[in-house]
Amino acid sequence: MSEPATRRGWIAERLAQEFPQLSLTLLDADAERPLQRSPKGVRERLALLADRFRGADAVMLRQWPIPHAYRVFYRHIGLDPDVTRTPVEAAAVERLLRGGLPSRGLLEDALTIAVLETGVPVWALDADAVAGTPGLRLSGAAERLGEDGRAVPLPPGRIVVGDERGPIGLLFGELARERAVRRGTRRLLLFAVAVDGVASMHVDEALWICRETLAS
């Protein structure tokens, strides 16, 4: 059986010129109850991954090609990866601090498995809360991360994932509450971001792993 087809999001021209290797890849996924407790097989897979990321591996992780590529990109966009950890490093540090990887429900476990298996972080949206095809752009003046009174103002010039309705989330950061997966969500839109040094096949693999785990 062939893998499900991924598709590309758009990149604003200014970003494409500054970061020609930057890309956004999307994958649709169905999930009856994405926030349910993970089945036994998923929890066992998480435990096996935790065994692979012991002290020495976590220390060396940042030198591996894919994690290193994200660290370099973080610095290019003004983030210090030693302060704001890349997602794979954050997962590895949590494993060290907790002595394992606790299950947090099917969706969170699927995202954790995908990033630890590939080094590529994946995020999930409620597909019914997305208008059109998402892409990457810079935030404008007076934009907010969300649409209600509690929405956080965005500094102009930040890289965001956006759609026809506005910002969906900060790149490598928080998602708007209205776009996040909730208990009533039945259709997901998964997305991953590739940077210079991260091949598209690794991005696709991360998305496929996440989708497959959600179908467990």
Whether 201 shows a pLDDT value over 80: the answer reads yes
Lowest-pLDDT range of 3-17, 76-90, 139-153, 191-205: 139-153
7-214 CATH choice from 3.50.40.10, 3.60.20.10, 3.40.50.970, 3.40.50.360: 3.50.40.10
Kind of pairing, strands 10-11 and 135-138? parallel
pLDDT of residue 38: 96
Whether 57 shows a pLDDT value over 80: the answer reads no
What predicted TM-score, i.e. pTM, was given to this entire model? Answer: 0.94
pLDDT band at 45 (very low <50, low <70, confident <90, very high): very high
Contact status, residue 181 vs residue 129, Cβ threshold 8 Å: no
Who has greater pLDDT, 9 or 152? 9
CB neighbour list of residue 67: distance below 8 Å, 6 or more residues apart: 61, 86, 88, 89, 119
What value does the mean pLDDT take over residues 69-96? 92
